[in-house]
Structure 1
Amino acid sequence: MSLNKPDREAIIKAEEKAKRDNEIKFSQSGGSVYVNGTKYTDAHNAINKINKGN
């Protein structure tokens, strides 16, 4: 499974809403995201991590 454009946009919005200092980096292909150094390939788990913080 990999992230699509709506997933990437949802992750960005979740980060803005959470107002936490998470480090968010998308892979070059855009198929995965790193949240505080942990790789996620699905938006649900990445957003959960963002909302929970460190």
Structure 2
Amino acid sequence: MKISLDELLNVKKAFITSITTLVFPIVRVNNQPIRKSKPGEMAIRLREIYLQKAN
């Protein structure tokens, strides 16, 4: 599935998951802010849960 830049800049939540980044909120794309340009509560909470389970 492809997502356009306009669609990406208007998403409610965006984050990357991987072994090295765990759950990492995305707040900017191509130096443009995504919505409020700060991590959302869900991404922060997912990261906390991931860290708890990893330890």
Q: Which has the higher contact order (CA 8 A, sep 6+)?
A: 1
Normalising by structure 2, report the TM-score: 0.28
Normalising by structure 1, report the TM-score: 0.28
- Structure with more helix by fraction: 1
- Structure with more strand by fraction: 2
Structure showing greater Rg: 2
